[in-house]
Structure 1
């Protein structure tokens, strides 16, 4: 189902003739690394506009990957922009010896700006199975069209947004297709043949990118693993901007001790509702907790053992749906709130509330999402690096409304019609942690429901599985209540290559040495009998 360029003659569905200039036969599994060094990548190799590219280096390396050592050709290349003032796309391809004839593209995170680790794992990947490169996949990725400023916090540099081409490379996902096309060009020249299968995996921004490729280029990938996807990027940003204003109000920010108090009380109220007390709330939608039960006497802040009225207001705002009273061209109208389990666990304060209130300039100790909003206002919206992000009110944006509406068409990748992807044979695995502090799991559930409502339950089930993992947070950051690990890559391979859909999946908690059934949404695991650390003791239920 690959989208093939015209660089090589087509032999049949999903196949390409060997590159006659490579000198390698179609069954070659050892890359011709020395021939790639300095190689030009023609603009015609990519379906989107560039001015071509060039391999900057191609070096054979032997590195420990997992339990073994992998020998591979590391290829670093630049793809040149149409706008000479735009930065290049910096990309990397790792080409293993004893290639398995498959390829894997990795997505990024936050504002991207660096090339992901090509020896890394898929999101929520297993710790007891080889990573894709160790399985002898050709792996590739890019910085999405800009290089992060070295002094910026990781993945929190939005300064590239001042350039339209760089903005589209990142936000609209143009860099994804350019990188994919250029990487397949290099793979063909290295091995003399095209990959039999090409997959994509990513989480957060990378999860969003997985949905972008399925929506925009439905024939480009055979399968996608999309975890905790920030698909409605602008919509979430508006909610984060509103929360930044709320949390910056005098006395509204709940400090670390109060965040711990809130988390502990929520766990205490809802932990046993699934039949076992294990610090995991399996059905967050069934968890009813009123923060007013923590109200300080008289509503004033009297210490770490209660919440003041402004703090209750802030907690309620974080957990409530945010709607804006105007139309935007992208079509979104709201962003769902975060469950009380999100951002209240002091094991992961950076992703949730942070440890200090938002301000101008934005403190690096504020929540990740609040810093993300600050960068978005400065470089995407106002394009004024000195603009105070707290001065922009997402409820009443005034002169910024037209710009917000335009950006929504670029950033909110909300096309629910995945029919072309399904008809091309694509398979999609969606994953989200129920205690995600940074991307609302309710948002992913909403996108899944849109797809199901549009295509129908049976058609959706034929190509898509969506799992919500109880207790899992954003990317297993810090010490989550449930450190999720599942071999989604093997499940995707079996589905895409053998037609065997995932069934009876089991997810492990690598920190607490326990397992749970991985229930397809909207099911969740309820304890029934036996050992509470064994998935066999649970049953998936509504």
Structure 2
């Protein structure tokens, strides 16, 4: 397979010759030569290696930077005692800064199937080249952005290839064999990283699972900055009760458009909800049963495309906005609007995206921790325009030409929840259409499947309307190893005893009659 590249440190050994268990003790203190990585580092070293409860060898290592002032990349490899001769890398989330759980499942993974490590995969991941301040909210520490090497490791994805190369070196060292396939799986920032590896290193991974990917990171950041300003205006922030009112009103208006009333809007493209139907008398806030004019303006801004009147080097011109269903569901307030309005300093009770914007302004844009994020206007950035443009060429990983990945035999499964609060599903649909436009329908069909899951939110956070669960890894294995493309797939709701057909975009599940909790009662409509 294309990912089973021979590393310079050792000669290939047939997979059949690998031992039943890894040489865990022999990895302690091992030096990782800079020459085994295709991007510049100062080499690395294994800092710990031991067999842990759960029956696998855990290996921790540091990859040293070129810039002495930059932090190391901290990585972890989990080596199963009974290896299946495959490897899988996990992506991160938010600003990263911690090593993802290498024993975990893939995004939207199945509850009734073992996680990759338990299936025999050697799994690995890294913190992407910086360590989060423990005092910061999880994945919301952007302070590493003041260092150029750390910023590029994270934002451009350089740490991904360094981690992959070093981890495969350790896997080969442990088993005296090369993996037959190497896969990547990630969601959100990790979904973006999944697209980065397919774009930048088309032969490095044989199969990729990208869920709710924040691929156009700069474009979304500019939209989040604009929304932070809108929601911070006097009287504009809809409190939790009003958010619940909005969500329930959208469900009531659009739930039945798929033929059944089940709390899920399966065809959001037909949902034409006008928040003005909730207007308070006279447009003045009179309580939780209505929205004031400023609040209607705010929720409309959230759902509308945000366009900026200037050019940036990354080439993006807008962010498509969010479905009305996305930040209004008070079962997941942290990811959407939050429970309090954005302000300076930014409250931890504001939405995740507002806090993300705050960190970006302080450490990526101005590199001034004291700078007030709400003082930067994404519509009129003034002296910050040149810096925004430069960062866009690093952060927006928007190369839609995946034909090299397809030619290398790579397969890509792309997924998004239709009610995502943090990364717009419209954005992922836009990327899919770009890929299809560049590669053509036939080539795209040969290597890419894209699914939008109705009712699913961001990473099954909180209590979504539909907690998506699907064995995408088995589907990817069959596609990569046997050429059997996914077909007739079914997605399970972990929060309710029900299933739905997993429809390829732009199709959606329409009720045909029968048990509304059974996928057999639906068909994929276009």
Query: How far apart are the structure 2 equivalents of 1:262 and 1:350?
Result: 16
The corresponding residue for 1:276 is 260
The corresponding residue for 2:275 is 291
Secondary structure of the 2:185 match is strand
The corresponding residue for 1:21 is none
Residue of structure 1 aligned with 2:330, choices 338, 342, 346: 346
Report 1:347-366 matches (<5 A).
347-366=331-350
Report 1:201-280 matches (<5 A).
201-280=185-264
Matched, 1:49 2:40: yes
The corresponding residue for 1:193 is 177
CA shift, 1:510, in A, is 0.9
Residue of structure 2 aligned with 1:438, choices 422, 425, 428: 422
Contact 1:280/1:482 (<8 A) preserved: yes
Contact 1:202/1:210 (<8 A) preserved: yes
Matched, 1:464 2:448: yes
Residue of structure 1 aligned with 2:30, choices 39, 59, 63: 39
CA shift, 1:443, in A, is 0.1
Secondary structure of the 1:475 match is coil
Query: How far apart are the structure 2 equivalents of 1:4 and 1:202?
Result: 25
The corresponding residue for 2:10 is 8
Query: How far apart are the structure 2 equivalents of 1:268 and 1:510?
Result: 23
| Deviation string, structure 1 residues 244-292 (Cα, Å, up to 9, x no partner) | 0000000000000000000000000000000000000001111011000
Matched, 1:376 2:349: no
Matched residues, number: 524
Secondary structure of the 2:282 match is helix
Contact 1:228/1:431 (<8 A) preserved: yes
The corresponding residue for 1:13 is none
Matched, 1:448 2:432: yes
The corresponding residue for 2:145 is 161
Query: How far apart are the structure 2 equivalents of 1:331 and 1:5?
Result: 36
Unaligned runs of 5+ in 1: 10-15, 19-23, 64-70
Residue of structure 2 aligned with 1:99, choices 83, 94, 111: 83
Secondary structure of the 1:516 match is strand
Residue of structure 2 aligned with 1:507, choices 491, 495, 520: 491
Unaligned runs of 5+ in 2: none
Query: How far apart are the structure 1 equivalents of 2:454 and 2:300?
Result: 22
Query: How far apart are the structure 2 equivalents of 1:283 and 1:51?
Result: 51
Query: How far apart are the structure 1 equivalents of 2:42 and 2:432?
Result: 37
Secondary structure of the 2:524 match is strand
| Deviation string, structure 1 residues 423-476 (Cα, Å, up to 9, x no partner) | 000000000000000000000000000000111011000000000000000000
CA shift, 1:28, in A, is 1.8
Query: How far apart are the structure 1 equivalents of 2:380 and 2:343?
Result: 20
| Deviation string, structure 1 residues 349-376 (Cα, Å, up to 9, x no partner) | 1100000000000000000000000000
The corresponding residue for 2:482 is 498
Report 1:84-95 matches (<5 A).
84-95=68-79
Contact 1:201/1:207 (<8 A) preserved: yes
Secondary structure of the 1:539 match is strand
Secondary structure of the 2:218 match is helix
Residue of structure 1 aligned with 2:17, choices 26, 34, 37: 26
CA shift, 1:42, in A, is 0.3
Query: How far apart are the structure 2 equivalents of 1:371 and 1:245?
Result: 12
Residue of structure 1 aligned with 2:160, choices 163, 176, 180: 176
Secondary structure of the 1:199 match is strand
Contact 1:204/1:228 (<8 A) preserved: yes
Runs of 4+ residues over 6 Å off in structure 1: none
Query: How far apart are the structure 2 equivalents of 1:394 and 1:133?
Result: 43
Query: How far apart are the structure 1 equivalents of 2:454 and 2:205?
Result: 29
CA shift, 1:4, in A, is 3.5
CA shift, 1:25, in A, is 7.9
Query: How far apart are the structure 2 equivalents of 1:292 and 1:62?
Result: 57
Query: How far apart are the structure 1 equivalents of 2:24 and 2:321?
Result: 49
Matched, 1:391 2:375: yes
| Deviation string, structure 1 residues 192-213 (Cα, Å, up to 9, x no partner) | 0110000000000000000000
Task: Tell me the TM-score normalised to structure 2 length.
Answer: 0.99
| Deviation string, structure 1 residues 369-426 (Cα, Å, up to 9, x no partner) | 0000000000000000000000000000000000000000100000000000000000
Query: How far apart are the structure 2 equivalents of 1:314 and 1:285?
Result: 21
CA shift, 1:529, in A, is 1.1
Residue of structure 2 aligned with 1:330, choices 314, 336, 347: 314
Query: How far apart are the structure 2 equivalents of 1:523 and 1:442?
Result: 14
Contact 1:25/1:191 (<8 A) preserved: no
Secondary structure of the 2:228 match is helix
Contact 1:25/1:192 (<8 A) preserved: no
Query: How far apart are the structure 2 equivalents of 1:144 and 1:256?
Result: 35
Query: How far apart are the structure 2 equivalents of 1:229 and 1:306?
Result: 34
